[in-house]
Amino acid sequence: MTQPRRITRRSTLLSSMAAAATILPRGSRAAGFREAIDRPVAAAIGTGSRWCQKATGINGPWGSAPDFRRFTDYAAVCDADASRRELAAGIVKEWTGSAPSLHADYRAILDNPKIDIVHISTPDHWHAKMAVEAMLAGKDVYLEKPMTLTIPEGRLICDVCRRTGRIVQIGTQQRSERQFIEAVALAHSGRLGQLKKATCSIGGAPQSPALPVATAPAALDWNLWQGPAQEKEFRYLAGDNGETRSWSRCHYEFRWWYEYSGGKLTDWGAHHVDIATWALAKTDTGPVRVIPEHVRHPVEFRDGYPVDPARYNTATEFLIRAQFADGIEIEIRHDGDNGILLEGTEGRIFVNRGRITGKPHEDLKQNPLPDGTLEKIYGERPLTDHFTNFFTAVRDRRQPISDVFSHHRALSTCHLAGIAARLGRTINWNPETEQITDDPTAAGLLAREPRKGFEIQHG
């Protein structure tokens, strides 16, 4: 595999970075990246709260950019909202001492040969187009979850990743958190007995009042923000709701519209169903049947499409079962303690971002896992944070822990759950051909026709 020249020139320095980063505490600066000239160059596409909270005008350091900057310097920022890209540019200047270039159109970033890495934090409906075209432009990619809006987009991303040899890390950071790795290790080592079921409690989605048609803010290019999605009127209602203090079709609130997202089924499902799929050793296959036991939407649906254009339309409540050919099941539900319950014939464990519990975990005090077990689960490498894992993968030209191939399979379960929820009936799925069987209407919901002028360029 041919290595990019910029990374190859830095191979010795990056080797020292990886060695240092594996033992540095979270938040420390890797020893290999002390001078700007020694650091790979990145561009941010999408500068909302998942990139950095401060770029939304809200005080707060969280988002992935503060961690990302330990390893790279941003040379460019891109957003369809001029106010957000200007705030992002100010943040980058504070970090680097230099003002980045500002862009509304991401293609200017892909055309820049000095950019090594593209950091994509846009709404979901833009992910596939940007990631595919970035890989074809010779860029490595850190892509926020969920990877795609549809299953065919996932297949395309996997194909282009194989063809180009680019490194793509999905922002499912739970794959780099110790308690989740331990949960997977307990499942894979037989400590739960024969695996039977995973229950993913991911929380429900909100409803909205009827949102009036409004004029988009002057700083927002609404046409560009919609991009590949079919054109809709801008809707907005101010109020004490969420980080944007509003209900809308846009920033942050896009999650609750099937036009741009899959609701909670892909928002949190991308995290928990991913871990469940990994623990159950199903990352190279998929369910054969998806059954919506209970679904509630805030609006009426006809043939899988919402009929009310003024209200949030993703499922607010759900209990959906994804059954695999061997009888193992993943259950996705809106209620219960947020996290993942793994059940086997000899025990069960519960894991979330705060804890891991259950007798198989407690038994580790007397009967620990063999040395190196967690590292083996983590791809035969030392445990690190998600960003160190990505930059080490870029250096070594090997798959990161959250690769596109395993994420595609896990996210396909979430997408199928969404289709079953929209139609209110069982979906039969062939995981080998990746097709819905015996249901043309359901099969018609697998893909989304991109808006003219926003097709993915992948020839």
pLDDT tens-digit profile of 80-103? 999 999 999 999 999 999 999 999
Number of domains the chain is built from: 2
The band of 35, judged by pLDDT with boundaries at 50, 70 and 90, is: very low
Same-domain check for residues 123 and 204: no
Residue 373 included in any domain: no
Same-domain check for residues 210 and 162: no
Percent pLDDT > 70 in the chain is 92
Same-domain check for residues 136 and 258: no
Residue 349 included in any domain: no
48: closest CA among 253, 255, 268, 251?
Answer: 251
- Does position 28 have pLDDT exceeding 60, yes or no? no
Measure the CA–CA gap between 397 and 275, rounded to whole angstroms: 24
Structure tokens at 62: 């969280």
Q: What does the mean pLDDT of the chain come to?
A: 92
pLDDT of residue 38: 63
Residue 295 included in any domain: yes
Strands 117-120 and 140-143: parallel
- Does position 25 have pLDDT exceeding 90, yes or no? no
Same-domain check for residues 437 and 307: yes
Residue 327 included in any domain: yes
Residue 382 included in any domain: no
Residue 399 included in any domain: no
Same-domain check for residues 206 and 311: yes
Residue 318 included in any domain: yes
Same-domain check for residues 272 and 123: no
Same-domain check for residues 228 and 154: no
pLDDT of residue 2: 32
Domain boundary among 175, 209, 225: 175
Per the DSSP assignment, residues forming a β-bridge with 351 are 340, 356
Q: What is the mean pLDDT of residues 45-72?
A: 93
- Does position 386 have pLDDT exceeding 70, yes or no? yes
Same-domain check for residues 165 and 218: no
pLDDT of residue 59: 83
Residue 189 included in any domain: no
Same-domain check for residues 34 and 163: yes
- Does position 153 have pLDDT exceeding 90, yes or no? yes
Same-domain check for residues 44 and 93: yes
Q: What is the mean pLDDT of residues 3-20?
A: 35
Virtual torsion, Cα 79, 84, 90, 95, nearest 10 deg: -70
Q: Which distant-in-sequence residues (6+ apart) come within 8 Å of 149 by Cβ?
A: 124, 125, 127, 128, 260, 261, 262, 448
pLDDT of residue 105: 97
pLDDT of residue 9: 32
- Does position 234 have pLDDT exceeding 90, yes or no? yes
- CATH number for the domain spanning 160: value is 3.40.50.720
Same-domain check for residues 171 and 219: no
Domain containing 306 equals 199-337+405-443
Domain boundary among 175, 208, 236: 175
- Does position 444 have pLDDT exceeding 90, yes or no? yes
The owner of tokens 């009042």 is 209
Same-domain check for residues 161 and 21: yes
